[in-house]
């Protein structure tokens, strides 16, 4: 009814599973897997599934998770039980070792299932790209960029992005990883620190003393040794509170445009964490749904196959808005979808304002003060251009 049609000669695949959404991190925990239900329902209300190949994903296998994560961490994750269950009395310090069971990464019922589902979604998406069956593959359930080889971190237990990029590397010579989550994509950067086959770029709030995870300074560009192939292949864009759409879009296009020309990636992996939106419970930026989506549109315009992942996002109604809008960009229907949330959308009452594009005033009571000077943003772009001179 919205005239959403399949794009000609262009395939978008949507990978999801209703399984993940059943899991809970705990009453007060900011991560709400239910936001994926809200996203899917908004995408469906707009009729977008007609324009895509839709897949229900299976769990990733132990062997698949093991392509990045260590066996002892996975073995512990499988048996890890929530607080009210018997503990592993022989190894009481393993939870500390793996950073599990704290308030950020709690042990909850069905944790292993939740993790292997998220990884399964991202792996399926990556495989649609390596088999040339999709031009854009969407994995909103993925994007858990902080997980390490043998450690959980920042709400992330399994690094589905690393697993997906390892898959892409089987057929692609160079992968460009872009991360617009408000947090630094430290786990992905670390995993590909010593290779020139993956360039990682993260835009994030940077304030080491007060904002998680505290890494990702402008000068951190990979190994310091010029003999290491990974040198100059990590790009960090440290930002302060209150950045606007106009500033972010300018930065994004200046930086990604230059990287694309110099590095010539054959595929893009784009993490679309929605906690960079205005009014996010954990975020600090003043981005609107349009500004966030402009990054997806720009990447699509480069004409390279792409996997898009979810990530953070702690105000569920805005997460659903951004990811539904970005799905419409992927299928080329962004100029056609109505701005008003469909009348028949389930959960419509959750969208306090009935628009897909809330204004800053609608997103938060008082827009955050913008602490990013034009001068500093120009310095950042200059620094990145200088790094790229070292890239062959």
Q: In angstroms, what is the minimal distance from the CB of 207 to ligand TV7?
A: 11
d(CA 119, CA 111): 12
Q: Does 144 bind ligand TV7 (CB under 6 A)?
A: yes
Secondary structure (DSSP) of 321-356: HHHHHHHHHHTT-TTTS-SBPPTT-TTGGG-SSSBS
Among 104, 189, 275, 326, binds Zn ion (CB under 5 A): 275
Q: Does 181 bind Zn ion (CB under 5 A)?
A: yes
Q: In angstroms, what is the minimal distance from the CB of 350 to ligand TV7?
A: 20
Q: In angstroms, what is the minimal distance from the CB of 17 to Ca ion?
A: 25
d(CA 125, CA 128): 5
Cβ proximity to Ca ion: between 56 and 217 the closer is 217
Stretch that binds ligand TV7, among 82-90, 129-137, 152-160, 336-344 (CB under 6 A): 152-160
Stretch that binds ligand TV7, among 23-31, 53-61, 112-120, 125-133 (CB under 6 A): 23-31
Q: Does 155 bind ligand TV7 (CB under 6 A)?
A: yes
For residue 324, count other CB atoms closer than 10 A to its CB.
26
Cβ proximity to Ca ion: between 122 and 202 the closer is 202
Site for Ca ion in 172-211 (CB under 5 A): 179, 181, 185, 202, 204
Cβ proximity to ligand TV7: between 155 and 298 the closer is 155
Cβ proximity to Zn ion: between 128 and 284 the closer is 284
If contact means CB under 5 to 8 A according to the sort of partner, which of Zn ion, ligand TV7, Ca ion, none does residue 283 touch?
none
Marked catalytic residue, from 15, 184, 204, 233: 184
Cβ proximity to ligand TV7: between 104 and 135 the closer is 104
Q: Does 183 bind Zn ion (CB under 5 A)?
A: yes
Q: Does 183 bind ligand TV7 (CB under 6 A)?
A: yes
184 classed as catalytic: yes
Helix (H, G, I), strand (E, B) or coil at 139: strand
Cβ neighbours for 303, distance < 8 A, ≥ 6 positions apart: none
d(CA 358, CA 339): 10
Stretch that binds ligand TV7, among 52-60, 150-158, 193-201, 262-270 (CB under 6 A): 150-158
How distant, in Å, are the alpha carbons of 57, 156, 163, 336 from that of 339?
Answer: 30, 33, 36, 9
To which H or E segment does residue 200 belong? Answer: strand 198-205
Give the residue from 32, 27, 93 showing the smallest Cα distance to 281: 32
CA angle 387, 389, 392 (to 5 degrees): 110
* DSSP E strand stretches across 79-155: 136-139
d(CA 269, CA 126): 9
Residues noted as catalytic: 184
């Amino acid at each position: 009814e919205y005239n959403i049609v399949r794009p000609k000669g262009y395939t978008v695949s949507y990978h999801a599973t209703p399984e993940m959404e059943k899991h809970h991190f705990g009453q007060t925990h900011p991560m709400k897997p239910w936001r994926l239900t809200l996203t899917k329902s908004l995408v469906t209300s707009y009729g977008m599934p007609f324009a895509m190949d839709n897949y229900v994903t299976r769990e990733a296998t132990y062997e698949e998770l093991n392509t990045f994560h260590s066996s002892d961490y996975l073995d512990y994750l499988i048996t890890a039980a929530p607080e009210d269950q018997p503990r592993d009395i022989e190894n009481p310090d393993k939870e500390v070792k793996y950073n599990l069971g704290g308030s950020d990464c709690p042990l909850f019922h069905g944790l292993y299932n939740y993790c292997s589902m998220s990884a399964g979604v991202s792996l399926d998406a990556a495989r649609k790209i390596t088999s040339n069956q999709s031009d854009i593959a969407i994995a909103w359930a993925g994007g858990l960029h902080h997980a390490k080889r043998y450690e959980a971190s920042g709400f992330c237990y399994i690094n589905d992005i690393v697993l997906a990029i390892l898959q892409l590397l089987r057929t692609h010579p160079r992968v460009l990883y872009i991360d617009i989550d408000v947090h630094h994509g430290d786990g992905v950067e670390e995993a590909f620190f010593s290779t020139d086959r993956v360039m990682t770029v993260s835009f994030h709030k940077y304030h080491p003393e007060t904002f998680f995870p505290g890494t990702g300074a402008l000068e951190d560009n990979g190994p310091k040794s010029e003999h290491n192939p990974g040198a100059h292949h990590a790009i960090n864009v440290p930002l302060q509170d209150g950045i606007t759409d106009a500033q972010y879009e300018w930065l994004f296009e200046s930086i990604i445009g230059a990287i694309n020309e110099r590095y010539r990636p054959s595929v893009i992996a784009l993490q679309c964490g929605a906690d960079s939106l205005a009014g996010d419970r954990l975020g600090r930026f003043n981005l609107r749904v349009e500004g966030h989506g402009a990054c997806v549109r720009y990447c699509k315009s480069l004409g390279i196959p792409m996997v898009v992942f979810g990530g953070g996002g702690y105000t569920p109604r805005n997460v659903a808005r951004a990811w539904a809008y970005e799905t419409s960009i992927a299928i080329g229907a962004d100029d056609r979808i109505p701005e008003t949330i469909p009348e028949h959308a389930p959960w419509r009452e959750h969208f306090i304002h009935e628009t897909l594009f809330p204004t800053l005033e609608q997103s938060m009571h008082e827009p955050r003060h913008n602490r990013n000077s034009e001068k500093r943003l120009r310095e950042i772009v200059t620094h990145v251009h200088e790094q790229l001179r070292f890239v062959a």
